[in-house]
Amino acid sequence: MIFALKKLLAAFLLPPGLIVTLLLLASFLFWRKKIKAAAFINLALGLVVWVFCLNPVSDALVRGLEKGLPRPSLQGTDVVIVLSGYGDRTAPALQLQRRLGVPILFAGYISLSHSVQDRENFYALLENWGVPRDKVILEMRSRDTIENVRRAGEICRSRGFRNPLVVSSAFHGKRIMLTLKKTGFEARLFPVDFNVVGRTLRYTWRDALPDARAVLGMSQAANEYLGLLFYRIFY
């Protein structure tokens, strides 16, 4: 009982649940003062925010991004490509590079362009992972996904790579596939770091409470859906 009460209080007295609490409290106060329009608006906002803070809702949005992605054969791969961004894509890409023994291209690592020492540290880190410097290609000018893909395509064509493999976090995969199609870059997607698809998710009563992790997942998923829409309209 004490455990449940502690979790309940923490969920609604700490962000993001605190926002839900304040909106519902405002709704109650407006209702008491017979300002019904304001009461209904705050109630609706409170419920919407609550829904957006739930893990099952966040997982459903992420599942829509991760499902249906291809898992291609590695045969014939002559370069592994890693696009900059959030998610755990680098470690699987390095494992693939060591397995295949092919060059690895890091696209969009613009932060390494500012300091020679940072680049040397990056090379040293890769060497500790078993990736020799002569197998590493750094692209440090592109700023977003579509520029990453365009520059990676230019580098692959100039170096004669014919069968590139793009390693990406699964929730980012559909935008990568759309970008490859839009730019005409013939490469295969290799999705990794699945958050929802392929996992058995079991929910409890605590998943009906606001959770900051759900907000993070919701934010990342919304960014991907908006990115897909933007790329379809403007590219």
Per-residue pLDDT for the chain (235 aa), expressed as one digit of tens each? 788 889 898 999 999 999 999 999 999 999 999 999 999 999 999 999 999 999 999 999 999 999 999 889 999 999 999 998 766 889 999 999 999 999 999 999 988 888 999 999 999 999 999 999 999 999 999 999 999 999 999 999 999 999 999 999 999 999 999 999 999 999 999 999 999 998 889 999 999 999 999 999 999 999 999 999 999 999 8
Q: Identity (one letter) of the amino acid at 49?
A: V
Shared domain for 98 and 170, answered yes or no, is yes
In a domain, 61, yes or no: no
- Alpha-carbon distance values, 221 to 97, 100, 164 (Å): 28, 32, 26
User: Residue 171 gets which letter from DSSP?
Assistant: G
- How far apart, in whole angstroms, are the C-alpha atoms of residue 164 and residue 148? 14
Q: Identity (one letter) of the amino acid at 113?
A: S
Shared domain for 109 and 187, answered yes or no, is yes
CATH for 86: 3.40.50.620
Q: Contact, 191 vs 66, CB < 8 A?
A: yes
Shared domain for 3 and 102, answered yes or no, is no
- Alpha-carbon distance values, 91 to 43, 156, 184, 233 (Å): 45, 22, 27, 33
Provide the 3-class DSSP secondary structure of residue 116: helix
In a domain, 156, yes or no: yes
In a domain, 181, yes or no: yes
In a domain, 165, yes or no: yes
Q: Give residue 111's domain range.
A: 79-192
Instruction: Give the pLDDT confidence score for residue 84 in this predicted structure.
Output: 85
In a domain, 235, yes or no: no
Shared domain for 84 and 183, answered yes or no, is yes
User: Residue 128 gets which letter from DSSP?
Assistant: H
Per the structure, the count of domains in the chain is 2
Shared domain for 84 and 30, answered yes or no, is no
pTM of the model: 0.87
Q: Contact, 191 vs 203, CB < 8 A?
A: no
